[in-house]
Structure formats: structure tokens, C-alpha cells
A and B are shown apart, each in its own frame.
Chain A
């Protein structure tokens, strides 16, 4: 048996973009340092060489300008992929990405869609301080007209990014600086992963853990620990939060009767609060306890390592939440 091919998260992202650019000339990449510098995080390494400066474009530090420019280009029929070095920087582009991209189709009565993908690092990167550690899904998942993918592993990253680029709607694609070096199996052959389909990444019987993006790994860590304590967790990776695959979580909760939602964004009005509400709605008679939630602490992201670790929805907090949800305190 030959070993499965393993590549880094960043390589999976690059393969997705490069394959789609080879397939469709309307696809191009723009962003800060994506070309000559090979990407601030080396996601686009080698792409300038392959596709040239007309299709891999260095932009100045001008998020509002180049985000709006990409949306205008998408209205004409191009399919731009825009890299935000960090989603934290997307805040200065809020008007184009929230007011233009998601609303263009509706306001034009269906005449102008925006096939554009915005992608980049989201969430705490490691001692970056509050302004650079945004989990923008807390803000942006509120907006109709966009789709949001938050992959947790290289396989999903590639399949979801290809789906994002090939689709016709605006997509916010949220990666994590902390995961770009993570290795995982990615087959040589082409595949796509549809939006709105969660993956059960660990089967279990006592409690459902529902999460997306980097915290899925915290959940797996917690599930491992809880197994030693005799509590069996089913871990579900939602993979996209718009659309949100409530069905997979509901079916799991009907089996386990307990649910903990883990979301790295702040708790107030978040994708996590939405999922918890949905689980309550659909599993009212199945739950043995209310749906517990683990989020980042409701404070600006701190710099000090100990504070930042405690701020995040870490494995310890998840273990505590599962023990509480399953009356094992």
C-alpha cells in the first residue's frame, strides 16, 4: 500500500487556486505581497512564475480600494480571488465587502452577480494583539448574500476553495495562520467539497461537539481527554457557516442528547449562538441539558501568552463544558 500524499494547508490552498486558474482564465489572484514576495504566508509561492503579473497581482496596502476593484471586475464577469493578509484588515474594506458584494445581485434585481472570493487569515495568530486577531465570522455571518467557509484541514481547504472559486456567489474564505503549516492527506486527483455539508470527524455516543476551523482541533484534543475519562464525544466539523449544516448536528444530538458548540468568535450574536438556537429548536425533546457554548472570552484579544491561551476556546474549557453538559461535574 502506497503512503497517502500529505501536504501543508498552504499548499492545498495554492493547488486549489492554481488548478482553477489553469482551468479558467477569468480567475486571477490579487492582494498584498501575493506576487513578487510569494505571499506574506507563502500561500501563493510560485504562482507569479506560472501565471505572470497580469494574473497574479501585487496591490498596495489599500484594502477598500482593491476589494472594491475586485467586486467591479466580478460584475463585469471576472472571477477574482482576493487575498487579505489578515481578515482583521478587511474591516477597512467593510463597505465594498458588505455593502457591495453581497447586495449587488439583489439590488440589481438579479442582473449583476459577484463571483469573487476573499480569503486570508482569521482568528488569533499568536500574540498579535487585539487589532490583528479578529474572528470576522462573528460579524460577517450576519449578512445575507455571502457564503462563508472555514476549513480545519488541508483536504477541506482545497475542496472548499475550489468550490468557492467555481461558484457564482461571493465567498468569504477564512483560514488560520496557525494552521497553514499543518499537514494532511490531499489526493492528487481533483475533487470538490460542496458547501453546507458537515463532516463527522470523530464518532461518539455521549455528547456532540460542533465546531469549525481551528477550534475543531481543540475539540479533538478535548475528545481524546474525555475518552480517558469515560465520556465519548462525537465531533462535527461544520466546514461552512453560511450555509450552516444544522441537519448533521441535529441528527447527532438526537443520538447523544448533549451538545457543546465551540466557536472562536465572541459569543454575543455569533454563528455559535445561531447553531445553539437551531439545536434547541430541533432537539427540544432530545436534549438532556441546554446546549453549552465555548467561545473566545468576551474581551479584546490579549497579547500575553498566558492570557491569550486562556482567552481562546481551548481544550480545557471544552472538557469542562462537556462534563457540565453531560452532568459529570
Chain B
């Protein structure tokens, strides 16, 4: 264990900018210096954050080259949230998130080539190219999507927690053992589904943590323009009897340390939690956003708090990370992402049969409007009822 020097609290001007974005007057006391985390673990987080950053940079480039279509939302600036949160839970704990989901997929362990190929619309993608940027699914890594409709994942998160608890307690007769991480943006706070989900989670004692990645803007709308009590989001959770926490999402060690506490408590009590995770996206909402709704100065304040630079500087100041070692780390990540792009380029488009697969588990299609789909199964009918065999070919 190594004790690191504390991160420097932001200067006054920065505090004012924070207050302007989040409507908050307090600033968060750094907690990282109080926790012991093995240096190797922190280096892993640094690598993970670098990977997400590099991946998103390449993703932007590929979008400009028209290799990626549709809507695409990058995670640059928010890396500490996905990396710190996933580190604070177990791999078997389900994760569900919104449409800015590449970071969560990579942090959860998805190979970047499957993530990139999905966006390229290739058969090698995590969903065979049928989901796209906003819909990353990975069963092996317990990632239950990427969901494109704002707030839609919040009742799903309650349902995942319901099932985890039901399977443990009702089916196996054991104590509830898993927690669910359900990520959402601050814009989702204004959706009805979110409030219904919180009420249900509170009512049914569901072990789900709602992590609000509060980056201050829902697309171009500053949080206070769309959300009441923007300066104190935890009051929303309090209304549902759910404990709320405010965490500095720009410091991965803080995120880990605080989230570990929240997750452990959630697991032990089998109760929901709510986290106002203060973060910032350095790029636009999507690829087409010129960011006219905020100032350069504001962006610079948050760029100075870059979670990657912050951890890098702290490890270096503690003498735990040499320049050469960092360069090697950067190169390894660059190579990995470059390979994922090459792999995706080489992956073929989905074959045409894929158009009609995965619609039903028990298929009766394809339904073209002019053919009779085949059905499986026999016939049982009441006395007097007559069923004609439908398997005969129609001309």
C-alpha cells in the first residue's frame, strides 16, 4: 500500500465554475488520500481510462470517415465514472446504462474490437452489428445494454435487481448477494420512468444503485434549466426513501472508494442507493454538437481536472510511475485500439440472413406479408373443434 499525496482542491475560480454548472455551493472534499489502493490497481485504472479515451478519439475519427453511422455519443471526460464504478462492484453484478455506453462496455471488460465492430455495423460486433453505438450488450460481462431512450434503462435496472434478489432468496433460499449498477444521465432525472423506477426500488427493497452521471447538461440544456433542485439531486432520492450520495466523478480513486462504500452497503442491506456523480463531458452531446451553450473558460476549468491527468500526476508525484512506463502504457493502448479498428475494417458486414434472425427465440417468421410462416408444435383441441393442418404449403 502506498499513501499518495492528496489531489489539490480546485482554486476559487474553479469552484465558482462548479457552482455555475451544478448549482452547488459546496465542493467535494477529496477522499482519495484516505484510502489505500494497491499501486498496481491504480495503474490498471489509468490504463483502462487511457483505453476508453483513445477508443473514443478513434471512434470520432471513424465517424468522420463515415465508418460509423447514426448517432454516436463519446465518453471523453467521464472515464473515471465507468472505471471507478465497475471496480467497486463484482463482475457478476449486472450493469445497465444509457446510450453513452462505450466506456461502460470497455470498463466491464468487452474487447474493444467487438465494441468498434458493432459501431462499424459488422458481424464481429458485440450484437452482430444489429444494435449500434447506443446499444452495447455483453452477456458474458453482465452488461445488459446500452439503451437509447432516455430513462428507459431505469425500470430495467430495478428489474435486474428484482431478479437477482428473487433468484437468491426465493429460488435458492440464500441471502441476496448481488447489486446492480444502473447508470443514467442527468437528463433522465426528468423522465417519468426514472421516478417510477425509484419508487419501485424503494418500495420493494431492490439492491440497485442509480448512478447519475451528472455532466451538467442534457444535450444543450443546462441542468438547472430542466431539473428542479439541481443543486441537491439527492433530495429526489430522499423523497423515495433512498439514501443519496454526492461523489466527485473526476477522480477515479474517489469514485472507487466512495462507490465501494455505497455498493457494500447496498449489498449488505439489499436496499437501493442514489449517486449524484459530478462529472463533465469534454465533447458535445453527439457528433453534431458545436457546444454553443457553454463557454471555453468553463470547459478549461474541467479540462484542468482531467481524471487521466490527475491520476497520472499523482502516481508520478508519488514516484510510482516513470515517464517511460507511462509512454509504454500509452503506446500499448494506442496499438490495441488501432488493432480494433483494423479488425473491424476486416470484419464482414452481417450476412443477409441476419436480417431475419433474433426476432423470436421460437421463430414463426420471416413474415413478409405474403407467405405463411411455419409453426412448430402439435394440436390439442376441445371436442367439436376442428383444426386444419397449417403446415401444408400455400401457393
Answer whether A196 and B135 are a contact pair too, CB < 8 Å, given A65-B197, A73-B166, A105-B358: no
Min CB distance A182 to B, Å, is: 14
Cβ-closest chain A residue relative to B142: A76
Taking CB atoms, residues of chain B closer than 8 Å to A155 are 382
Q: What residues of A have a CB within 8 angstroms of the CB of B164 in the complex? A: 76
The closest CB in chain A to the CB of B208 belongs to: A72
Question: Contact at B364–A196, with CB atoms within 8 Å?
Answer: yes
Residues of A in contact with B (beta carbons under 8 Å apart):
4, 25-26, 28, 54-55, 57, 59-60, 62, 64-78, 95-96, 99-100, 104-113, 115, 144-145, 147, 155, 159, 167-169, 185, 191-201, 203, 243, 245-248, 250-252, 274, 277-278, 281-282
B126 in the interface, Cβ–Cβ < 8 Å?
A: yes
Contact A194 B375 (CB under 8 A): yes
Q: Does chain A have a CB within 8 A of B378?
A: yes
Once bound together, how far apart are the Cα atoms of A248 and B394, in whole Å?
10
Task: Identify A251's interface contact among B144, B149, B388, CB under 8 A.
Answer: B388
**Is A65 a contact of B372 with CB atoms below 8 Å?**
no
Nearest-Cβ distance from residue A241 to partner chain B, whole angstroms: 12
Residues A199 and B387 in contact in the complex (CB < 8 Å), given A78-B167, A96-B152, A194-B377: yes
The residue from B127, B192, B394 contacting A109, defined by CB atoms under 8 A apart: B127
Q: Does B295 contact A (CB under 8 A)?
A: no
**What are 25 inter-chain pairs, A to B, with CB distance below 8 A?**
A4-B383, A54-B170, A64-B193, A64-B196, A65-B199, A68-B155, A69-B162, A72-B163, A75-B163, A77-B163, A77-B167, A96-B155, A100-B147, A107-B127, A109-B129, A110-B357, A111-B127, A147-B360, A167-B362, A193-B381, A195-B364, A243-B373, A247-B388, A248-B390, A274-B369
With A110-B357, A251-B388 already in contact, the answer to whether A185 and B156 are too (CB < 8 A) is: no
Q: Is the CB of A194 within 8 A of B376?
A: yes
Query: Complex: how many Å from CA A64 to CA B390?
Result: 37
Report whether A169 and B361 are in contact in the complex, using a CB–CB cutoff of 8 Å.
Answer: yes
Q: Cβ of A194: which chain B residues have Cβ within 8 Å of it?
A: 375-379
B272 adjacent to chain A (CB < 8 Å):
no
The interface size of chain B toward A, counting residues with CB under 8 Å, comes to 72
- Distance (whole angstroms) from the CB of A26 to the closest CB of chain B: 7
- The listed residue (A66, A147, A169, A278) touching B200 by CB distance below 8 A is A66
Mask of B156-178 contacts with A, CB within 8 angstroms, 1/0: 11111111101101110000000
**Residues in A whose Cβ lies below 8 Å from that of B287:** none
Extra contacts, 9 of them, besides A197-B379, A200-B386, A243-B367 (Cβ < 8 A), are A78-B162, A78-B166, A113-B361, A159-B380, A192-B377, A193-B380, A198-B390, A247-B394, A248-B388
* Closest-CB distance, A113 to chain B (whole angstroms): 5
Give a binary string over B182-209; 1 marks a CB under 8 Å from any A CB, 0 the rest: 0000000000110011011001100000
Interface contact A105-B387, CB-CB below 8 Å = no
The chain A residue with its CB closest to the CB of B381 is A199
**Roughly how many angstroms separate A276 CA and B130 CA in the complex, as a whole number?**
33
CB nearest neighbor in A for B195: A65
Bound-state Cα–Cα, A245 to B388, Å: 10
Using a CB–CB cutoff of 8 Å, the interface residues on chain B facing chain A are 94, 96, 125-131, 135, 137-139, 144-145, 147, 149, 152, 154-164, 166-167, 169-171, 192-193, 196-197, 199-200, 203-204, 357-362, 364-365, 367, 369-370, 372-373, 375-383, 385-388, 390, 392, 394-395
Chain A's nearest CB lies how many Å from the CB of B354? 8
CB-CB < 8 A to B367: which residues of A? Answer: 144, 243
| Chain B interface helix/strand/loop/mixed | loop
Instruction: Evaluate whether A185 and B382 lie within 8 angstroms (CB atoms) in the complex, with A68-B152, A74-B159, A194-B376 already known.
Output: yes
Q: Closest approach, in angstroms, between the C-beta of A233 and any C-beta of chain B?
A: 15
The interface residues of chain A lying within 8 Å CB-to-CB of B359 are 105-106, 144-145
Report the nearest B residue to A243, measured CB to CB.
Answer: B364
CB closest residue in chain A, given B196: A65
B123 to chain A, nearest CB (A): 9
| Cα distance, A68 to B287, chains bound together (Å) | 30
Taking the closest CB of chain B, its distance from the CB of A77, in whole angstroms, is 7
Q: Are the C-beta atoms of B390 and A247 separated by less than 8 Å? A: yes
| B193–A68 CB distance below 8 A | yes
A147–B130 alpha-carbon span in the complex (Å): 21
Closest Cβ neighbor of A197 among chain B residues:
B387
Per the bound structure, the CA–CA distance linking A100 and B166 in Å amounts to 21
In whole Å, how far is A286's beta carbon from the nearest beta carbon of chain B?
11
CB distance from A192 to the nearest CB of B (A): 7
* CB atoms of A197 and B375 under 8 A apart: yes
Q: Is the CB of B382 within 8 A of A71?
A: no
Report chain A residues within 8 Å CB of B395: 282
On whether A111 and B163 interact (CB within 8 A), knowing A145-B359, A167-B362, the answer reads no
- Chain A min CB distance to B270 (Å): 13
Q: Which of A73, A109, A144, A168 contacts B131 (CB 8 A)?
A: A109
Q: Is the CB of B145 within 8 A of A99?
A: no
Find out whether the CB atom of B362 lies under 8 angstroms from the CB atom of A59. Answer: no
Q: List the 10 shortest-distance A-B pairs measured between CB atoms, nearest first.
A: A72-B159, A68-B155, A65-B196, A109-B127, A76-B163, A194-B377, A108-B137, A72-B156, A168-B361, A109-B128
- Residues of B contacting A167 with CB < 8 Å? 361-362
Q: Which residues of A contact B159 (CB under 8 A)?
A: 68-76
A64 pairs with B155, CB closer than 8 A = yes
